[in-house]
Amino acid sequence: MPTLSNRKELFRAATTKDKLTLFHLLFDSQLLDMDLSLALLNLIHKELSADKERDRSLYKHYAESIETLRYYMSDVLQLVVEGWQQNRKRHDNP
């Protein structure tokens, strides 16, 4: 039977590590597409950039995520990178 602390875990905000884990779970189950990759990686990248503690294990996990895309889904990674470039251009040229 779940304890009170286990139930609270169901409603906590997702951490960067949780999002990286979700990315890999979606990849492993072949549910990851370009839009989902772009959305998750944008969130993860933004959180890592804002992280003052600089947890090295998170950066390693993030690098593994990018490498996984590069190796197995290079076309999706290319579209993600193009999406990042388009977003950057929109923000640089208001």
Question: With 60 as the cut, is the pLDDT of residue 4 above it?
Answer: no
Question: Is 26 among the domain residues?
Answer: no
Q: Average pLDDT in the 7-19 region? A: 81
78/18 Cα distance (integer angstroms): 24
The DSSP symbol for 31 reads -
pTM above 0.85, yes or no: no
The per-residue pLDDT for range 27-38, each reduced to its tens digit, is 999 998 888 988
Question: Is 68 among the domain residues?
Answer: yes
Question: Is 78 among the domain residues?
Answer: yes
Give me the residue label for tokens 């003052």. 52
Q: Give me the domain span that covers residue 83.
A: 55-94
Question: Is 48 among the domain residues?
Answer: no
Reference 58, options 11, 21, 10, 12; nearest CA is 21
The per-residue pLDDT for range 53-68, each reduced to its tens digit, is 778 899 999 999 999 9
Domain count within the chain: 1
Q: How far is CA 60 from CA 18, 35, 48, in A?
A: 14, 23, 11
Give me the residue label for tokens 């998170």. 58
94/79 Cα distance (integer angstroms): 23
